Structure 1
């Protein structure tokens, strides 16, 4: 099995690669951002991709969207610092087959890679439980109303990018980004782009 890890943290990549490679039947390749991740996917055709959300430039959500646009059968596990279940929900909605957080047992990543590589799906039990509670009326994340694209834009606003820069990075028009910001302001009760930036920082999107 060939696994492509796309993550910009060398220590995390090294640790995950060592764990997976120690299995004996897993070959690991890696990339550090969305652009090189897409190129590596095309070059290596991995059986499973492990994608961090918080990549430099566009996020793992956007990379996942671009990969699946090119190959709808691609098997992707999102690997993130964020344990808010809304991120897992959005990852699955855009087509990822698994979601694992970095602050849990690292062997859960191995389990996810095996499960997804075999054609299944993997969602950590505690995240699955929280998603179920939220669907049944428990307090939801303030980000729950946002789409994956809106989460991407909010994350980039939190990093200090302007709307023109976000439009260029996400390959959509400035008008689309401006419209998305207006919609997000209504959804989140924000009045200005600065308030959106504050929300992004408070929710640890950056």
Structure 2
């Protein structure tokens, strides 16, 4: 019987439940060998030693942003096709990932089978976007160079940037000379515009995008 060539997949994801879910999905196929890393450091090391064909990469890693290590992963293993697996499918996340060399992007809200579909497509040299991401891009008529702050006012841009610098709402209200309620309402509106559910997730978004404070308009 002819031996089936194994497809080597590296999953870089800090949440054990998500890694376990990936393993269960890949177990549906007999030709997939998966190893996992829970940090950027371990992921970079395994990329060199394991030499995966496909890398499934989370953005919010404990020791670095996936955006930061994405180019390094490609540079050290240019055969690997990288699929970003993220909680967020906002336009800025997708464009940042693609611009840095990813060839696939799916969210953790997509159907489990989309992960297998993504692997097949990227292995054939195609770009794969999950259903949630494709809908977002269609709705926003996204251009590759879109600004992460597109759609936000200058004041809203200041607020989200200060959140990313670790400022509390009280500190932001003092710095911008605004009432606390005004800042809180601003954060609520920003979350609505970016389709982000919680303030914690918004802070993470700002940190991962290294947003800089804008001057007020």
TM-score higher than 0.5 here? yes
From the two aligned structures, give the one with the greater helix fraction: 1
Output the CA distance in 1 between the equivalents of 2:160 and 2:101. Answer: 32
Output the CA distance in 2 between the equivalents of 1:24 and 1:40. Answer: 22
Which residue of structure 1 lines up, in the alignment, with residue 29 of structure 2?
23
| Deviation per residue, 1:61-108 (Å, 9 max, x gap) | 112121123344431000011122321121111110100101121111
Displaced runs of 4 or more, over 3 A: 140-145, 190-202
Which residue of structure 2 lines up, in the alignment, with residue 97 of structure 1?
103
Output the CA distance in 2 between the equivalents of 1:119 and 1:195. Answer: 36
Is 1:188 the counterpart of 2:160 in the alignment? no
- C-alpha distance 32-144 of structure 1, shift in aligned 2 (>3 A): farther
1:144 Cα shift?
A: 4.5
Gaps of 5+ in 2: 1-6, 168-186, 188-198, 206-217
Output the CA distance in 1 between the equivalents of 2:203 and 2:158. Answer: 18
CA-atom RMSD in angstroms: 3.0
| Equivalent residues of 1:52, 1:60 under 8 A apart | yes
1:65 to 67, 71, 77: 71
| Deviation per residue, 1:41-78 (Å, 9 max, x gap) | 10010000000111101011112121123344431000
- What is the total number of aligned residue pairs between the two structures? 165
Output the CA distance in 1 between the equivalents of 2:69 and 2:41. Answer: 8
| Equivalent residues of 1:77, 1:112 under 8 A apart | yes
Give me the TM-score of the superposition, normalised by structure 1: 0.69
1:4 Cα shift?
A: 0.5
